[in-house]
Structure 1
Amino acid sequence: MRKLAFIIFLSISVFSFGQNRPLLYNVDDLPQSLLQNPGARIDFTRHIGIPFFSQIHLSAGSTGVTAYDIFSNEDSNVNQRVRNVMNSITAGDFFSVNEQIEILSLGWKMGNRGYFSTGIYQEMDIFAYFPKDPALLAFEGNADNINQDFKFSDVSFTGEILTVYHAGFNYKVDRKLTVGGRFKLYSGIFNAESTNNKGVFRTLETPGGPNFYRHEVLGLDVTVNTSGYASLKNEEGMTVDEAVAELLSRSFFGQNVGLGVDLGFNYRVTDQFSINASIQDLGLMFHQKDIENYTYFGSFQTNGLEPLFPELDENEAAIPYWDVFEERLDRNLNEETTTNAYNTWRPLKFNASFEFGTGKSILPCDYLISKRPRFMNLFGMLISGVNRPKGPTYGVTAYWDRKVNDNLRFRLAYGVDEYTITKLGAMVSSRFENFNIYLAANDIIGYTNLAKANSASLQLGLQFIFKDL
């Protein structure tokens, strides 16, 4: 049973999602670039998104293991395949899930230099490190791992579903510098997190003791915090469909709130060369309602049961060894459920890039300057990352951005990140009058065989974009 549970955990994990979005970064004729850098240069004067369709983002990634590693037909022994994965994967490997749907998006020019944008989007973000030691203990047991420490610190994960209300302002300081900021109000739907856990379990050889082995749990301190879960759990007879409906009902006005900001800039060193950077989701969530936290703590040592076999008459009961053992265990290893409020940082994202243009063309499409030099080809490099409990995850992407004409644009990209070193991506954006549609896919090689892919990403959107001359 424990092997089946472990296999299910792995099979779910390998279809998890990541959060790097390099294909829309710095695309100056898409409003979505303002969500990644509120200080990006833009060349439109108004936009309004098709509700729920202006941005749909899904991406997938896992390091260290793929579905093929578990379910391959090359070896009929599934236990051996799982064992091979266990030997190759480390506690630093991770799985993540990210999904974002833009519910409302609109913006308009303010004065000669400003652009105001606002909207609402729903986001799910789940991130989990592979719990190597606890998984190894559950799968193999301790018989072949004598004198080895199994660390509970390997258990580390965060997960949240929330709605984000935002308003941002983009301002062109002068011909070279553009800056921007975005204020965010977070409305929490669901949260679960367990980080900074401590403690070890080990089995030691003690040939000179009362038994051959001694089992120890030392410094155990594991906490799982949740918000938005207790009310679902306590609702008697609630089905999965009813639970999903309840979560959806919280989509616009969740029970917990938070605040955050995005900041960014773009600086043209020359007409051809520019640099820019941004940070996203510098903010906190305050979990105060519908809280349920679980804490496991304590230390315990045992040499096992030492049964005695005294002669008993018919009125004497046998010694309740197991009850005595359970009482000792409960006295030393404690479980506690609380409803204490807690705070969590949002996963801080950072971006920095440079860009070089060639193929000068004069296009009357910048609302700040009626005519200015534009470049049909843009070559750039982007470094991006997300802060996580054990440190940031990051990636580097080089791209070629080609503006075929004022209505058609595409981008080809090659990236290296912690998922893969062969991440090929493509984006195309097309306009029909004022109607825009875009599609971006990353790690295209992985789409040829998703079972062997470590990551995949897809973005698409429909919206109206206006460029008043």
Structure 2
Amino acid sequence: MWRLVFIISFLSIGFCFAQNRPLLYNVDDLPQALLQNPGTRIDFTKHIGIPFFSQIHLFAGSTGVTAHDIFSDSNPNVNQRVQRVMGKITASDYFSVNEQLEILSFGWQVGQKGYISTGIYQELDIFAYFPKDPAVLAFEGNADYIGRNFEFSDAIFTGEVLTVYHVGFNYKLDAKLSVGGRVKLYSGIFNAESTNNGGVFRTDRTPGGPNFYRHSLEGLDIVVNTSGYASLRDEKDMTVDKAVSELLSRSFFGQNIGMGVDVGFNYRVTEQFAINASIQDLGLMSHQKDVENAHYFGSYETDGLEPLFPELGPNESTIPYWDIFEEELDVNLREETLFNEYNTWRPFKVNASIEFGTGKAILPCDYLIFKKPKYSNLFGMLFSGVNRPKGPTYGVTAYWDRKVTDQTRVRLAYGIDDFSLTKLGFMVSSRFNNFNIYLAANDLIGYTNLAKANSASLQLGMQFIFKD
């Protein structure tokens, strides 16, 4: 089980991805905007995504540390580099992994005011806080931390791979207000989570005691829940290829299921000024099959080994101090494996933005808004957040959206979040007849040296979009 925890932590550091996607939010001629806000304003009547290529999304980020901090050659002593990083990073820093691949995507107009969108996408999401106290204790020991509590509650992580089936409905109530909702069926492939841990390790000086120091571990209570993992581990002759094949076989019909919803709206306060907001993935996963729970618990206190040196006869053996110590640990610090069902909440997202348009453009073929002008320049401010075990993570993005021609639009964005205070982003979307292709990249400054970047983002996709 601890190998699983190590693998998840390693993946988090190596492939840190997150979920903030401001570059496609409110882009009314891209179907992907409906995934972020099912109530957003749109100006197309049908779309068909190219399977597996209509949206590929990767967003990388880690707070408090970069790859350069650990692997830089500026200091040849690896231990000193790691120690410096551990002194800098806090228990509130985190690593996050998110990847999304759209497998199928299509939609069509219903009547004069409605639009149905549906599809399937696969998502991977891993989130881990830096386990500050356990890491310091393991790497540096307790010699320099006499009298300090080491909290095991710092160890918090979640990870899941799932397939999402969804159908959404966008409806234009009147010339100002559009609303929408989306229902999602989650099909779980793999899950691992450990979020409510406890326990304190402490070393105190005991001048009047039997030894110089007393070590105590009080209230240890660590639970690691998994689904979809035990069968892979217990399979005989399991190889990486077999494991990958097994996970792929679960991609469309996973063992565990859940339900969720998205809701959103867009309201045009004036002809030029609009506000909108959405909530995504407000849902719950139920883990009932291939479930395993690893539970580590107990308390123990020791003053260390107290060796005696009695006179022994020729047939007498020495006292087995280490065996006795191990037996005491086994009695007081226990490990058990359970098979209890459990539920997990999806990390729901919140978005809210304001937008102001200038520069009237040619009237669009917009089935939702009849003979309303479209603006070639849009200036907006977007707030977005993701709910996590210790509280929400969030960011703010300001953007300028420019409709260059009827077929091409670009967006330039500047954002601030937990990863960076200088996050520059760029998006371009072009249409050739009905064929559309888009590319969006965030934190462009980080691309100049990815090793020093706290975050990096990439989105791309291809599809057919139709306007009547």
TM score, norm. by length of structure 1 = 0.97
Map 1:244-259; keep pairs closer than 5 Å: 244-259=244-259
Give the drift of 1:140. 0.5
RMSD: 1.5
Unpaired segments of 5 or more residues in structure 2? none
Residue matched to 1:270? 270
Q: SS of 2:312's equivalent?
A: coil
Give the drift of 1:317. 2.5
Partners of 1:114 and 1:223 lie apart in 2 by 47
Structure 1 counterpart of 2:330, which letter?
Answer: D
Q: SS of 1:280's equivalent?
A: strand
Structure 2 counterpart of 1:430, which letter?
Answer: S
Is this contact kept in 2: 1:11–1:67, CA < 8 A?
A: no
Residue matched to 2:184? 184
Partners of 2:89 and 2:369 lie apart in 1 by 54
Give the drift of 1:73. 1.5
Residue matched to 1:213? 213
Residue matched to 1:368? 368
Partners of 1:334 and 1:180 lie apart in 2 by 51
Residue matched to 1:453? 453
Residue matched to 2:164? 164
Unpaired segments of 5 or more residues in structure 1? none
Partners of 1:293 and 1:436 lie apart in 2 by 47
Which range is displaced more, 316-325 or 302-311?
316-325
Partners of 1:351 and 1:339 lie apart in 2 by 37
Which range is displaced more, 251-260 or 328-337?
328-337
Give the drift of 1:9. 5.9
Structure 2 counterpart of 1:25, which letter?
Answer: Y
Partners of 1:364 and 1:424 lie apart in 2 by 29
Partners of 2:341 and 2:69 lie apart in 1 by 41
Partners of 1:317 and 1:336 lie apart in 2 by 34
Residue matched to 1:404? 404
Is this contact kept in 2: 1:14–1:454, CA < 8 A?
A: no
Residue 423 of structure 2 corresponds to residue 391 of structure 1: no
Which range is displaced more, 154-163 or 302-311?
302-311
Partners of 2:444 and 2:161 lie apart in 1 by 28
Residue matched to 1:103? 103
Map 1:42-53; keep pairs closer than 5 Å: 42-53=42-53
Q: SS of 1:123's equivalent?
A: strand
Give the drift of 1:318. 2.0
Q: Percent identity among equivalent residues?
A: 77
Partners of 2:122 and 2:369 lie apart in 1 by 35
Give the drift of 1:331. 1.0
Partners of 2:104 and 2:15 lie apart in 1 by 28
Partners of 1:364 and 1:258 lie apart in 2 by 40
Residue 458 of structure 2 corresponds to residue 464 of structure 1: no
Structure 2 counterpart of 1:273, which letter?
Answer: F
Residue 297 of structure 2 corresponds to residue 297 of structure 1: yes
Residue matched to 2:307? 307
Q: SS of 2:188's equivalent?
A: strand
Partners of 2:365 and 2:337 lie apart in 1 by 60
Is this contact kept in 2: 1:166–1:182, CA < 8 A?
A: yes
Q: SS of 1:86's equivalent?
A: helix
Is this contact kept in 2: 1:184–1:261, CA < 8 A?
A: yes
Is this contact kept in 1: 2:48–2:107, CA < 8 A?
A: yes
TM score, norm. by length of structure 2 = 0.97
Structure 1 counterpart of 2:160, which letter?
Answer: E
Give the drift of 1:316. 2.3
* Residues 151-208 of structure 1: CA deviation (Å, up to 9, x unaligned): 1000000000000000000000111100000000000000000002111111111111
* Residues 84-136 of structure 1: CA deviation (Å, up to 9, x unaligned): 10110000000010000000000000011100010000000000000011111
Give the drift of 1:12. 5.9
Is this contact kept in 1: 2:9–2:128, CA < 8 A?
A: no
Q: SS of 2:367's equivalent?
A: coil
Change (3 A) 1:11 1:48: closer
Residue matched to 1:337? 337
Give the drift of 1:236. 1.7
Partners of 2:317 and 2:228 lie apart in 1 by 48
Give the drift of 1:10. 6.7
Change (3 A) 1:327 1:141: same
